[in-house]
Amino acid sequence: MKSFKRYTLNFATALLLIIFVLPGTVRAQAVQRIAAIVNDELITEYDLESRIKLVIMSTGLSNTKEVRQRISGQILRTLVDERLQMQEAKRRNISVSKRDMRRAKEMIEKQNQLPKNALNRMLQENAVPLAAMEDRLRAGIAWSKLLARRLRPRITVGEDEIDETLQRIKSRQGQTEYRLAEILLAVDRPDEEENIRRTAQRIRKQVQDGANFAAIARQFSQSATAAVGGDLGWMHEAELSNELKTIVPNLKHGTVSPPVKTVTGYRLLLLLDRRKIGETTGKPVVIDLRQIFLPFPRAATRRDIENQTDLAKTITLSATGCRDFDMLAREVKSPRSPSLGRLSLRDLSPEIQLAVRDVPAGKTTDPIKLTDGVLVLMVCSREGGKGQIKLPERDAIADKLVQRRLSLMARRYLRDIRLSAVIDIRI
């Protein structure tokens, strides 16, 4: 298992990826109208407008009045949540140092392939306030530290859980799995549900119109996967909920599902890819085939057909290898050459493919009845086939299980904080 320290660093790093490389200016000094009050702390309309600029730049949304109005509600909710996270972190004596901020900015530059110290300049050039990005960064760092300190120690993953996961992966060879990305919009109170559903529909429309799904997920999604653009990785068909089992298989590559109601809110799913487990690493099946053909006489009677079929059955029981098979072909005077050579399975006719698909090397097929005779095939060698599933490391499985539980616990934690807070939305 990874140490607590190592996991904490990894989790904090993941949350930092929520931040995008975006523009900025100096915060205005003038008194601003109030957008919301969170436990006596103000969020001004200037704060909201600054974050809207950040989101538009990062997601590729059109910078129109209509788009700004559509996203302002969800962005304000995000600002409220960040303020609550910062307040809770302060209450728990968690702080964000200048070193934390410097390392976070360096990480953003590295992730976005920017030169060193280029972030501030890029923000200024794009006319987005620097404080908008720094506030987002500071909240992400503080919240990750808080979760690592208060929630992570409560989570344990047993060796039996890892063994069960590995066994489940092994048993899924050849079955379908999907690579999905998600945006999760949580519903904390019944009176929020309709508004959240409409927000999910608007986000779907924006993605269909060309907005960046991953960027929107980083900004709006309330799942731990927000840190990686909503990427859920590969999911087996059995892992899908009953609702998703009817939706995901019908998605086309690169398309987004309608909003799907879950116990925690609404989800949008993007299909990135699909595959058969283990087959992506496999080579085409190539087999060395031999044949014995027993023709029917002209105007064959039922008895003639039965005799040739019985002979074919005797051959399948008698043949013990390719050399023996060639001798049997001469003895029964098969009119066709015994050797068919090395053939790709996918190049054979569907009937022959079905007959030889599962026959191991050194064994014969059952008699194959054709219109003009009976055919027996011997598989002399077999190469290629399905690849072996590359099993994940045990630590990787443990980390994934931990993150799933931590994500659920974090959403509950924030929900409880929100429910106990005094929040006054002014716009």
pLDDT by residue for the chain (427 residues), tens only, comes to 444 444 444 444 444 444 444 444 444 443 479 999 999 999 999 999 999 998 888 787 778 888 888 888 889 999 999 999 999 999 999 999 999 999 988 888 887 777 888 888 878 877 889 899 999 999 999 999 999 999 999 999 999 999 998 888 878 777 888 999 999 998 877 888 898 899 899 899 988 888 889 889 988 888 878 878 889 888 888 888 888 888 999 998 889 999 999 888 899 999 998 887 755 455 678 899 999 999 998 888 989 899 999 998 998 888 888 888 888 888 888 998 888 888 888 788 777 887 887 888 888 999 998 888 999 999 998 887 655 566 778 898 899 899 889 988 998 999 999 999 999 999 8
Cα distances from 133 to residues 22, 139, 163, 242, in angstroms, run 7, 10, 42, 39
Q: Is residue 120 part of a domain?
A: yes
Question: How many folded domains does the chain comprise?
Answer: 3
Same domain? 200 vs 289 = no
Count the Cβ atoms, other than its own, within 10 Å of residue 308: 21
pLDDT tens profile 282-307: 567 889 999 999 999 888 898 989 99
Domain end marker among 254, 279, 304: 279
In a domain? residue 412: no
Q: Which residue has 């191991």 as its token pair?
A: 360
**Domain containing residue 378: CATH number:** 3.10.50.40
Give the length of the chain: 427
Residue 103, SS3 per DSSP? helix
- 3-state SS, residue 422: coil
Residues 231 and 265 grouped into a single domain: yes
Residue 181 β-bridge partners? 231, 270
Same domain, 228 and 262: yes
Instruction: Looking at the structure, tell me whether residues 306 and 267 fall in a common domain.
Output: no
**Residues 230, 305 within the same domain:** no
Same domain, 265 and 217: yes
For residue 415, being part of any structural domain is answered with no
For residues 231 and 294, state if they share a domain.
no
> Which residue segment(s) compose the domain that 227 sits in?
173-279
CATH number of the domain residue 18 falls in:
1.10.4030.10
Are 236 and 154 within one domain?
A: no
Instruction: Write the CA distances from 98 to 106, 134, 285, integer angstroms.
Output: 12, 11, 59
Does residue 410 lie within any of the structural domains? no
Pair 372, 253 in one domain: no
